[in-house]
């Protein structure tokens, strides 16, 4: 596996692959890799001749009081996992390589509307940072197919809209959320949880699964249902940031007529913010 730190080296490798007619897959990450990330790699390996994974903790998508400085960095272990998974190249740019003119001067990509609700409302500027870095990485890697987790359901929608609006010449594939046996969605941020919080954490998935069951049983008063489950989630020991039933196709508000639904939740356990979602049809 090649470890590349500069855009020039990455482009040189990409040119070789283009000459050889290779289909190139791309998996962007912030590192601290777990089995969820590896599912994306496996999906990429299954569809592509060569797979590039980037590891870059993107300062542009973190708010002022967020966990940028403490974000877990486990580069050696990450590289070993990627090598074992058959990744051709890992791209490890510095902040200066990605933002040579500095963060303040950086041109942004902003996907309107969808970037301002749910996680975007709680984390102003987050999706602008995500769209900008993903756009830049797409321009560097020039992948044929890029892979994103459904764990970050709203992020996946933001990326899909960006690619469509900016006529990007690639396919975006969403990969199902990888969970622990308890149901807890795998996340690098799970490492922040204390032992006691880790015991509690799977309740979040259990409660949104209960909510889904209630919808499937015919409950379509989503306002009342959401209010009831915010109470349950808080009672279980979380502090709910948001809980919403949305139209899974565009994240508009769902009503009784909506067939394709997604339940999205963000909740704090102590200081750790966990997100999860479930999508389904009625």
Q: Token pair 């190139």 is at which residue? A: 24
242, 121 contact by CB (below 8 A): yes
Sole binder of ligand AMP in the list 7, 175, 193, 204 (CB under 6 A):
175
270 is in an annotated binding site: no
277 among annotated binding-site residues: no
For residues 222 to 261, the per-residue mask of contacts with ligand AMP, x marking binding by CB under 6 A and - elsewhere, is ----------------------------------------
- Is residue 60 a contact point for ligand AMP (CB under 6 A)? no
What values do phi and psi take at 165, rounded to 5? -65, -35
Catalytic residue list contains 37: yes
What residues from 135 to 164 belong to the interface with ligand AMP (CB under 6 A)?
148-149, 151-152
Interatomic CA distance for residues 123 and 105, integer angstroms: 21
Q: Which stretch binds ligand AMP (CB under 6 A): 13-21, 30-38, 131-139, 209-217?
A: 30-38
Sequence-distant (6+) residues with CB within 8 A of 35 are 178, 186
Q: 14-26: buried (b, 16+ CB within 10 Å) or exposed (e) per residue? A: beebeeeeeebbb
- The answer to whether 129 is a known ligand-binding residue is no
Residue written as token pair 């510095």: 94
Bin 34: left if φ > 0, else alpha if -120 < ψ < 50, else beta.
Answer: beta
Tell me, residue by residue from 92 to 131, as one string, x for binding to ligand AMP by CB under 6 A and - for no binding.
Answer: ----------------------------------------
Question: Which residues would be at the binding site for ligand AMP (CB under 6 A)?
Answer: 29-30, 36-37, 39-40, 148-149, 151-152, 175, 177-178, 185-188
Which of the residues are catalytic?
Answer: 37
């Amino acid at each position: 596996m090649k470890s590349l730190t500069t855009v020039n080296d990455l482009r040189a490798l990409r040119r070789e692959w283009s000459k050889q007619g290779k289909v190139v897959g791309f998996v962007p990450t912030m590192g601290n890799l777990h089995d969820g990330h590896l599912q994306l790699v496996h999906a990429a390996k299954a569809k592509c001749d060569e797979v590039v994974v980037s590891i870059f903790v993107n300062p542009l998508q973190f708010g002022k009081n967020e966990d940028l400085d403490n974000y877990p960095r486990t580069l050696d272990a990450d590289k070993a996992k990627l090598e074992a998974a058959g990744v051709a190249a890992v791209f490890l740019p510095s902040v200066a390589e990605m933002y040579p003119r500095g963060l303040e001067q950086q041109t942004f990509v902003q996907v309107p509307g969808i970037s301002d609700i749910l996680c975007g409302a709680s984390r102003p500027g987050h999706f602008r940072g995500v769209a900008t870095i993903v756009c830049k990485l797409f321009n560097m890697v020039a992948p044929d197919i890029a892979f994103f987790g459904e764990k970050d359901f709203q992020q996946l929608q933001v990326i899909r809209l960006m690619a469509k609006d900016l006529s990007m010449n690639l396919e975006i594939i969403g990969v199902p959320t990888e969970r622990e046996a308890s149901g807890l969605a795998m996340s690098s941020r799970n490492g922040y949880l204390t032992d006691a919080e880790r015991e509690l954490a799977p309740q979040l998935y259990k409660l949104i699964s209960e909510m889904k069951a209630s919808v499937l049983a015919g409950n379509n008063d989503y306002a009342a249902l959401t209010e009831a489950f915010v109470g349950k989630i808080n009672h279980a020991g979380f502090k709910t940031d948001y809980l919403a039933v949305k139209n899974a196709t565009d994240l508009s508000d769902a009503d009784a007529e909506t067939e394709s639904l997604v339940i999205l939740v963000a909740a704090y356990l102590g200081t750790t913010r966990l997100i999860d979602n479930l999508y389904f049809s009625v």
